[in-house]
Amino acid sequence: MKLADHFEQSFSNLWRRKLRTFLTTFGVIIGIGALVCMIAYGKGIQKNISESFTQMELFNYISVFTDSALSRLGFGDSNEKSQAGKGLETILDDSALARIRRMRGVEVVFADVCFPAAVRYNENEEFVLIQVLSSQLASSRLIKLRAGKSYVSDGENSLIISDSLLNRLKVKDLDSVLGKEIIVSTISFDFSKINPMDLSSFLQGQKLPLSKETYTFTIAGIAERMGFGGPALLRSDVFVPPDAAKDLKKLPFSNLWDLFRSPAGRQGYSLVNVKLTSPRFVDSVKNEIRNMGFRTFALMDQFEELKRGFLIMDAVLAVVGMIAIVVAALGIVNTMVMSILERYSEIGIMKAVGASDKDIKKIFFFETSMIGFFGGLFGLALGWVVSGLINRVVNVFLTGEGVPFIQFFSFPWWLCLGAIVFAMLVSLMAGIYPAVRAARVDPVVALRHD
């Protein structure tokens, strides 16, 4: 028989039992649809994170810590010392930053400087950590602006505020605040308030030597809240230029740990971020920084571990999706076995007129492969439609919380093609037993079968 004859005969046999064929194929459709949705979800998360990191050039960044700061933050082994960090700890100060700037491949070096403040717009007020960020970095792809623009100089009396903070400040129309003034209140030490004759009040936490200062800034831009892959080096809802921040009277630390950030009370930064011109300089710059006595952390180092985590997640999701495939395969076996019993005499006639065992097997393999093909094709379509509906419903809720639209599912070409091929392979495997059983039919017994 020719190939076209096999397809025509298989389609005719399946069409004679339309309801049974439909139900069996529908089982494959459900199984493939579930499997495709599971894998597409895992790939979607991986794509979101990887593309976000690449788009924001996060693989170009290195975080630099001192040994004591790193152990406080919980990164790495607190007992492990940097190569030059034996004895007195090196201070991460401006001179160290200048040395790092001169290294090959370094584009920008900036200290992670934050200070506590209260931000008030109209009658609403929120307490936040304000982060000092240069105009060069504020204008880069590190911050995704939803509206407005970045401040153009380090001395500009402007700031960038996140849309999530504006939502907490009860602002309905976010674009309406652009160019408007916003109040920033800081706390600073004022030792003139200490009364030597009333130290007991000071020791009891009363009449603390603190004063509140109020400043006015102009809202230049609105930053979009990060979805997957938001950079850890941006940990604030408000960004101000460094020269403008210097003019503010504020506390010199954002938490009590900063009081102990360097030995003997010497000043230094807790954290410094280094931006490279390319990820290929990560290893060389890290080695130079470690030789200075500091510790480093780069997302590039963790990416291989992250990919292993993605593989484990994909495997778990695939196993869950395979449950429906196993059930569908059992349905195919049942359908084909029933078909043998119904076509017992027909099989006997074909063998009596010269059909070989191989020809009989081919008939059943073609029938099961057609079930697998259509099950895989329509299962892929079902998975695509269902994932699209889930993605849209979830984003409706997230958009209401100020989170930008996120595509949770991804359908690479290999997944689309692999779904159909895999469905056919599963169907062929499920058809092995029925095909072998059909080939063993004795034509004499089959012809006498009533």
Question: DSSP states of 382-408 as a string?
Answer: HHHHHHHHHHHHHHHHHHHTTPPP---
pLDDT score, position 107: 86
Domain ranges of the chain: 3-54+306-447, 57-299
Higher-pLDDT residue of 253, 25: 25
- The mean pLDDT value for 249-255 works out to 65
Higher-pLDDT residue of 71, 122: 122
- 116/247 Cα distance (integer angstroms): 15
pLDDT score, position 267: 60
Whether residue 372 contacts residue 28, with contact meaning beta carbons closer than 8 Å, is answered with yes
- 112/131 Cα distance (integer angstroms): 8
- 168/436 Cα distance (integer angstroms): 69
The model scores a pTM over 0.75: no
List the single range of 84-93, 278-287, 337-346, 431-440 with lowest mean pLDDT.
Answer: 84-93
pLDDT score, position 324: 77
- The mean pLDDT value for 261-285 works out to 75
Q: Is the pLDDT of residue 190 over 70?
A: no
Bridge partners for 110 per DSSP: 273
Q: Is the pLDDT of residue 167 over 60?
A: yes
Q: DSSP letter at 230?
A: -
Positive or negative torsion for Cα 245, 247, 250, 252: positive
pLDDT score, position 182: 93
Higher-pLDDT residue of 298, 82: 298
Structure tokens at 37: 């949705």
Higher-pLDDT residue of 54, 290: 290
User: Of 83, 100, 112, 96, which is closest to residue 293 (Cα–Cα)?
Assistant: 83
Q: Is the pLDDT of residue 385 over 60?
A: yes
pLDDT score, position 58: 72
Confidence of residue 254 (pLDDT cuts 50, 70, 90): low
Q: Is the pLDDT of residue 73 over 60?
A: no
- 383/373 Cα distance (integer angstroms): 15
Query: What torsion do the CA atoms of 249, 273, 135, 177 make, to the nearest 10 degrees?
Result: -70
